Structure 1
């Protein structure tokens, strides 16, 4: 019973410039770990092959070390790997693929689908119909030749392509590298393995996007999986199972804080995240000085615990209660300053006023505690 692993969009060599150096390095390194997990999954599930539907590399100019590490990471699975060039690593006359061959980095069990046609896997009786991108963008459907390509009888016909299924994805996504939505039927494919969409997505019973095995952005489209595909015999419908591969899980929250229970719920959710989280938090609303301290403490703990925590508090106002202000025991000039900082939490000075209000409040609280320990 033929079985293979479908994966895509490894984006090896991707930079994460929005993060600090430590987090950027860890997130980039996790992509090599994803390949190792794919190899392990292929062994565990007795796969006949691993099919990679494009964008193995994030760019043509990745280093030789990056290329070698990529192919080294496949060593855990000794069966055939079939790798297809995508729009980020197109099969140009001189490309990352030609360089990989020149430096002898490609293992014997890795098949590079650099030309349109069929890669035959005789031992597995799988014919891989490949539609590699030979330039970054094309306006022709490179899978169209699949309809007329013949393959050995009683072999699986598996298509491998990278692009946008027409009429299914958003209009601004399917403008280039088009793929007909009915290609699996018109070409009599047992399965069509696609890359380019970075999330898990089923097009029809025989056509799937696997998504990227390691998330790299804040988008809720089910990244972090590979697809285990089992076809009992040629012509049978494939059984497709999503296998989790992600090392890090990305979360983007937009929270509005109005009442005290809002911050209670936020801090509870923050505390329940797995340690492998990458969190981007945007806050708005208003909080008291006491809740400001609770929030600051919670964010400080989260930064130390999780892979990465970034947050935007530019729309979160400090709104001291009468009890807050009374507790600060601020009068005269200091009291006037507190009042002015409260009113300036908007416009160009908003962040400065907010920070100054928090600092002044903390200083007053510390001074009070020193007097009355």
Structure 2
């Protein structure tokens, strides 16, 4: 029977989501607590008796007692599972800090915090091979060197599976967001004779090597654009179901765990058919009601096209999704002459409309975007009055 565990990281419980409207921020924050229940269900589904959390269980060190109590209660409720927790860069272990607060509250019987870099035997389930956990907790947001170096010389019994647990950026592997804080050697698993190295810090599921993986976050927390693609990217929450028969015999399976699916799209729009296709694409997704979409369209629309965008996307599509976050800075409005002529206005309002049109067409005019929005409103007023 293989050694089984669920590998996850970067729950970041307690995140505030300041960039979202208050009602949406509350939903997103709640999903991070609920992720504990989904992780427990995923572990049971793959027959794993334990969950390894590779850092950033919490989003900060100054969280409320209510947030901490709720997290401990959710883990305690999954009493059939053992939770192995590691301090990361968002929740480092400092004297008098978050982890000591949690300890004073009393750790549930099924929760194991790993606050020191020392081998810890894993309680084997019946039939599992013996294993030892080598955790590398962070004591600061940034540490001066590789926090996993100690694993190379860590003494363990002969024939025991060595499982590393760490949080940081694999050096030279392309750190997220241009940083390599807490660098980890890419060949650490080989150097330390690890059967598996469970990593956290990067919010994507990434295979560094046969025995070295980033799990990714179980609940996404940000929009991501694919810089090498078409400007579209979908991010869902995952954890890794890991089975190890022996060193070199590792099976890793991605398991969906997220509630919300985060999409980011930058489509080029020029006509109504493209607007309809965009809306239909997301409405047809089975998880549409749980989609969080940042939409940053580019291109140029006529007044009629812009009005159609407002109706089809800003109103009808937005009502179907969990949250539609619009960035309209790249979407221009270029009124056609016949559209302007059709705006049945007289006197000073007619003169104002003509001046707005002239400014809207001038890319050098700093008020061009405001003029375009005003023209759209005039067009909509005309349509409503018909």
Give TM-score scaled by structure 2 length.
0.89
The counterpart of 1:305, out of the listed 302, 320, 332, is 320
The counterpart of 2:215, out of the listed 202, 210, 225, is 210
What is the distance in 2 between the residues matched to 1:297 and 1:221?
24
In the alignment, what sits opposite 1:317?
Answer: 332
In the alignment, what sits opposite 1:228?
Answer: 241
Give 3-state SS (helix, strand or coil) of 1:280's partner: strand
The verdict on how the C-alpha distance between 1:127 and 1:243 changes in structure 2, with shifts beyond 3 A counting, is same
Please say which of residues 50-59 and 90-99 is displaced more in the overlay: 90-99
Please say which of residues 337-346 and 153-162 is displaced more in the overlay: 337-346
What is the distance in 1 between the residues matched to 2:279 and 2:317?
10
8 A contact 1:256–1:283 mirrored in 2: yes
Shift, 1:174, TM fit: 4.9
Give 3-state SS (helix, strand or coil) of 2:162's partner: strand
Shift, 1:49, TM fit: 1.3
Shift, 1:269, TM fit: 2.5
The counterpart of 2:261, out of the listed 238, 249, 263, is 249
In the alignment, what sits opposite 2:161?
Answer: 156
**Number of positions where the alignment pairs a residue of Structure 1 with one of Structure 2:** 366
The verdict on how the C-alpha distance between 1:221 and 1:184 changes in structure 2, with shifts beyond 3 A counting, is farther
What is the distance in 2 between the residues matched to 1:266 and 1:6?
36
Shift, 1:261, TM fit: 3.7
Give 3-state SS (helix, strand or coil) of 1:213's partner: coil
User: What per-residue deviation string (whole Å, max 9, x for no partner) do you get for residues 173-208 of structure 1?
Assistant: 453211111010111110000000111000000000
1:232-311 mapped onto 2 (5 Å cutoff): 232=245, 234-273=246-285, 274-298=288-312, 299-311=314-326
Shift, 1:210, TM fit: 0.2
1:131-170 mapped onto 2 (5 Å cutoff): 131-170=136-175
In the alignment, what sits opposite 1:2?
Answer: 3
8 A contact 1:287–1:316 mirrored in 2: yes
Give 3-state SS (helix, strand or coil) of 1:352's partner: helix
The verdict on how the C-alpha distance between 1:285 and 1:40 changes in structure 2, with shifts beyond 3 A counting, is same
Give 3-state SS (helix, strand or coil) of 2:328's partner: strand
The verdict on how the C-alpha distance between 1:142 and 1:114 changes in structure 2, with shifts beyond 3 A counting, is same
Give TM-score scaled by structure 1 length.
0.92
1:1-373 mapped onto 2 (5 Å cutoff): 1-74=2-75, 75-104=77-106, 106-124=107-125, 125-170=130-175, 173-219=178-224, 220=233, 223-232=236-245, 234-273=246-285, 274-298=288-312, 299-330=314-345, 333-345=348-360, 346=363, 347-367=365-385, 369=386
Give 3-state SS (helix, strand or coil) of 1:70's partner: helix
What is the distance in 1 between the residues matched to 2:383 and 2:153?
78
Shift, 1:326, TM fit: 4.5
What is the distance in 2 between the residues matched to 1:214 and 1:169?
22
8 A contact 2:205–2:215 mirrored in 1: yes
What is the distance in 2 between the residues matched to 1:343 and 1:109?
69
Unaligned runs of 5+ in 1: none
User: What per-residue deviation string (whole Å, max 9, x for no partner) do you get for residues 302-343 of structure 1?
Assistant: 332222112122332222334433543446654433222122
User: What per-residue deviation string (whole Å, max 9, x for no partner) do you get for residues 224-249 of structure 1?
Assistant: 100000012x3242100000011011
